Structure 1
Amino acid sequence: MFSLFYGLWKYIFKRDEFYVLILGLDNAGKTTFLEQTKIKFNRNYKGVNLNKITTTVGLNIGKIEYKGIVMNFWDLGGQHELQSLWDKYYAESHGIIFIIDSADIERIEESKAAFENMITNEHLVGIPLLIVANKQDILEALSLDRIKSIFKSSAPQIGKRDIHSISVSALNSQGITESIDWMTNCIKRNVPSRPPNNAEE
């Protein structure tokens, strides 16, 4: 009898579970973006002091429930020597959020190179891609249009997929809700090509 009720409970409360990678160079604001996402979408999460976030070495994780699905975020270290580890997570991912430091003009070409190396991986074909122009609160930051023009030559590698670019200030939480809303809708639409795992409440 217990197994019958447990099976019914699982059926009623199970949630489709998806995995989203947050990638980009070190100091692009990936961890701040993740923290603001957790603050906005997890009711009782207080977060950490955003001004004390340091460069990620390894992996930061986060989880939210939104629009009836569970989304797990993997924020991976962006130092050059750590980028070789990104592809270990590609096959399990359902979406990519690539974060660019709009204010670090000297490294914009380095960011583009990391992006192109990532997007050509066969495990990411067709996976939804959100390009985030972060740190738009800084006066010297490149505009979203300028960043799009710099990354325009990467279009052939991007291929056919859901793609969107957005101006964000992760520190001020500007653009966070819109980013997650877009990614959630795309992932749900993309389920036939990369099915979810099942999670239980």
Structure 2
Amino acid sequence: MFSLLYGLWKYLFQKEEYFALILGLDNAGKTTFLEQSKTQLNHQYKGVALNKITATVGLNIGRIHTNGIVLNFWDLGGQTELQTLWDKYFAESHAIIYVIDSSDKERLEDSKLAFDKMITNEALNGVPLLLVANKQDIPESLSLSRIKDIFINSNQVIGPRDYHSVSASALKGDGVNESIAWTVGAIKRNVHNRPPHNSED
């Protein structure tokens, strides 16, 4: 009898819990992307005023419930000295969301170097990757196809993993829902590689 009730309780209250890393250089729009994700999936969430967001020093955490799972975001600071901490989170992550400031041509090479170092880390083998070409609302921004040419310049970079790219304006909310929907789908497709944690809320 107990096992039957426990099974029912698990079915009703436990949800699969996953972790997605939001990476990229400082000022790429990572925290804005995170805040828009929380707002678009929970209309009661008021969030932080987007024009008040400052550079992340350390870590921002977000948590959303969608499609029967709990998705936790770790938004990590992108300053050069903070990038050395990224790999501490790789082993626990179920997806990577890499955000690029498409308008910042001067630092595009720096972003590419950080991306290459991240994506070749063995702890991320097979982990789904979403490439977000952010700030597309700025007229001089590079297009998604140009960003892909620069960052995904060979199949060896991606390896055997789920991969998708999206054109976005985190400030306006464009591309955010598509990004989250793809990330959730990719996590579920790859659950055999990285099983979920269990959540009771």
| TM-score using structure 1 length | 0.95
Task: Determine what percentage of the aligned residue pairs are the same residue.
Answer: 67
Contact 1:168 1:175 (C-alpha < 8 Å) held by counterparts: yes
What secondary structure does 1:172 align onto?
coil
Which residue identity is paired with 1:147? I
Residue correspondence of structure 1 range 1-201 to structure 2 within 5 A: 5=5, 8-153=8-153, 155-201=155-201
Task: Figure out how many residues of one structure are paired with residues of the other and give that number.
Answer: 201
Which residue identity is paired with 2:146? R
Distance 1:140 1:112 in 2: 19
Deviations 1:38-95 (A, max 9, x none): 0011232111110110000000000111111110000000000000000000000000
What secondary structure does 1:153 align onto?
coil
Which residue identity is paired with 1:143? S
Q: CA deviation at 1:122?
A: 0.7
Uncovered stretches (5+) of structure 2, i.e. residues with no partner: none
Contact 2:152 2:158 (C-alpha < 8 Å) held by counterparts: no
What secondary structure does 2:85 align onto?
helix
Distance 1:136 1:72 in 2: 26
**Which 4+ residue blocks in structure 1 deviate beyond 6 angstroms?**
1-4
Distance 2:84 2:122 in 1: 15
Contact 2:168 2:176 (C-alpha < 8 Å) held by counterparts: yes
Distance 1:149 1:142 in 2: 11
Uncovered stretches (5+) of structure 1, i.e. residues with no partner: none
